[in-house]
């Protein structure tokens, strides 16, 4: 009876492992782990631009641009201009 119990447990573990492996391969190899969830949240990498005043790199979506198209990291540097 003990042997039958342990064989059943082993079969359940193998079935669980194979099911998890099958689900991971069907979801594009990403799985449902924390890394996959984080990659979904973060999306694509964003271009980083150097501030024309202090050379600090900021994401393009957060940069302020003057009429010449130069990027700035903050309003103060935007007002001061490119000189440095």
Q: Which domain holds residue 18?
A: 2-42
Q: CA quadruple 64, 70, 75, 79: dihedral positive or negative?
A: negative
Quick one: pLDDT at residue 50? 97
Distance CA 8, CA 22 (A): 21
Residues 18-44 have pLDDT tens digits of 888 777 666 655 555 666 666 666 788
Looking at the structure of the chain, the number of domains it has is 2
Residues 33, 64, single domain; the answer is no
Quick one: pLDDT at residue 19? 86
Residues 36, 11, single domain; the answer is yes
Residues 6, 38, single domain; the answer is yes
Residues 13, 36, single domain; the answer is yes
Residues 35, 61, single domain; the answer is no
Q: Which position has the token pair 């130069």?
A: 70
**pTM score of the predicted model:** 0.49
Share of the chain above pLDDT 90, in %: 60
Residues 32, 54, single domain; the answer is no
Q: Average the pLDDT over 52-77 and give the result.
A: 96
Residues 20, 37, single domain; the answer is yes
């Amino acid at each position: 009876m003990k042997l039958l119990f342990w064989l059943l447990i082993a079969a359940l573990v193998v079935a669980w492992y194979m099911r998890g492996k099958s689900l991971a391969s069907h979801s594009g190899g990403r799985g449902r782990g924390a890394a996959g969830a984080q990659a979904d949240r973060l999306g694509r990498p964003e271009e980083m631009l150097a501030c024309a005043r202090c050379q600090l790199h900021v994401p393009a979506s957060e940069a302020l641009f003057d009429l010449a198209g130069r990027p700035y990291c903050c309003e103060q540097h935007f007002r001061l201009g490119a000189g440095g």
